[in-house]
Amino acid sequence: MQTLQVDVGHSRYPISIGPGLLTNRELLDARIRGRDLLIVTNTTVARLYLAKLTGSLASNSIASNSIASRRVAECILPDGEQHKTLQTAGRVFDALVAKKMNRDATVLALGGGVVGDIAGFAAACYQRGVGYVQIPTTLLAQVDSSVGGKTGVNHSGGKNLIGAFYQPLAVIADTDTLATLPDRELRAGLAEVIKYGCVWDPLLFDWLDNNMAKLLTRDVDALTYAIGRSCEIKATVVAKDEREQNLRAILNFGHTFAHAIEAATAYKTYLHGEAVGLGMLIAANLSHRLGLIDAAIKDRVRDILGKACLPTETPRVGAAKALELMHMDKKVLAGTVRLVLLEKLGRAIVTGDYSQAALDATLAECFA
Ligand code: NAD
Ligand code: GLY
């Protein structure tokens, strides 16, 4: 098992990565200190892993007084991004109230990024904040969403518009859970790993170039390396800028375009990671058009997405529509869409100072 630390000053917590963690009672008892636990999951993940986790948390696991008197309740949400809403978060509040849970309760988020974001948001709000632990079960959640404390839900007007920065008490990433992940979901998670290579670590990018086949066939060592390195990078960035005042925004490379693609296609055509892949392609296109990177880097971004079997054809949603949707992005300041652009492989900038004509030309090429 690999252990990393996230340290944002007011909050410090461990990330544990490895096989067999859902049944590792010693680890769970060390990381999950609360007596009143609410496991939040969804119908799909519940079928696969809920019994395993509740079994490991069972009261007779370890002879400690506090653990022996644990109460474990469940809240099973519907599956899907379309359910990442305030209404669904309300179901978590209802469960916490129904079980008479107090401020010392701990929420356990067992699932992908959707469950993690909803459960974390509910934990941030319930009684003005109870502890929560992320137990991510998708590659995307293990490399990205479970770390760093961004929680929230969607609004009909845009993605993740309602939320809070609220750090978990711990992240427990059991790599065995990836065995049941559909291929398409695995590939969507790889898009976020590619993102770290693009904006931070050119050696990771090279490694991905050389090891993509292993990742696609779920080679355990390759996946473990990709998860560990991604979490290291995310922890480093979040430690410098928890609230996305500046640096953290680079982790949104491709996301402004991705959110527009997701909204324009009613969240039905693309998985989040697939849209992020397309968004990175467009951001690399614009970076090249602005003269920041040469064509070879733009082509490498396209090629690695292709190697990861991610979509590389952008949907023809219309340039004007895409631009309108991009204005809902949380990085918009004083009406200007700030974009994450590449200066070279492994280095990104966040800027509102770019040629509108170049953006228009890129949107026309990609979306018209
Ligand atoms: P998801 O949570 O919808 O999970 C994808 C699918 O896989 C779902 O159907 C889920 O039920 C299923 N699943 C989960 N674990 C499984 C397993 N082990 N085996 C089989 N099936 C499994 O999607 P996701 O890609 O994990 O997360 C996407 C969400 O994460 C988006 O809402 C996005 O906005 C959010 N996100 C948040 C952050 C953050 O920092 N908070 C970062 C990136 C993305
Ligand atoms: N996924 C981007 C971030 O957490 O900041």
Query: What are the pLDDT digits (tens) for 242-281?
Result: 999 999 999 999 999 999 999 899 888 999 999 999 999 9
Which stretches of the chain are assigned E, i.e. beta strand? 2-7, 12-18, 36-42, 71-77, 106-111, 131-136, 150-155, 158-165, 170-174, 339-344, 347-351
Q: Which of 60-69, 103-112, 215-224 has the lowest mean pLDDT?
A: 60-69
| Residue 227 amino acid letter | I
DSSP 143: I
Q: Residue type at 18?
A: G
- Structural domains of the chain, ranges and CATH numbers in brackets: 2-180 (3.40.50.1970), 183-367 (1.20.1090.10)
Can you state the angle between helices 272-289 and 183-199, rounded to 10 degrees? 30
Tell me, yes or no, if 288 is annotated catalytic. no
- Please report, for residues 118, 165, 233, 239, 242, the alpha-carbon distance to residue 10 in angstroms, rounded to integers and kept in the order given: 22, 12, 19, 10, 10
- 232, 242, 244, 262: the active-site residue: 244
> What is the length of the chain?
368
Annotated active-site residue in 159, 187, 255, 298: 255
Check whether 66 has a pLDDT greater than 80: no
Two structure tokens written together for 70? 């644990």
Q: Is the CB of 45 under 6 A from ligand 1?
A: yes
Confirm whether pTM is higher than 0.85. yes
Q: Tens digits of per-residue pLDDT, 175-216?
A: 999 999 999 999 999 999 999 999 999 999 999 999 999 999
Pocket test for ligand 1, best of 85, 118, 145 (most atoms within 8 A of CB): 145
Q: Give distance in angstroms: CA of 9 to centre of ligand 2.
A: 18
How many Å apart are CA 142 and CA 350, to the nearest integer? 25
- Alpha helices by DSSP H, 83-219: 86-98, 113-125, 139-140, 183-199, 202-216
pLDDT of residue 63 exceeding 80? no
- Mark whether 154 is an active-site residue: no
pLDDT value at position 86?
A: 98
Query: In sequence order, which ranges of 113-201 are alpha helices (DSSP H)?
Result: 113-125, 139-140, 183-199
Beta bridge partners of 77: 42
Q: What share of the chain is helix, strand, coil (3-state, %, to 5)?
A: 55, 20, 30
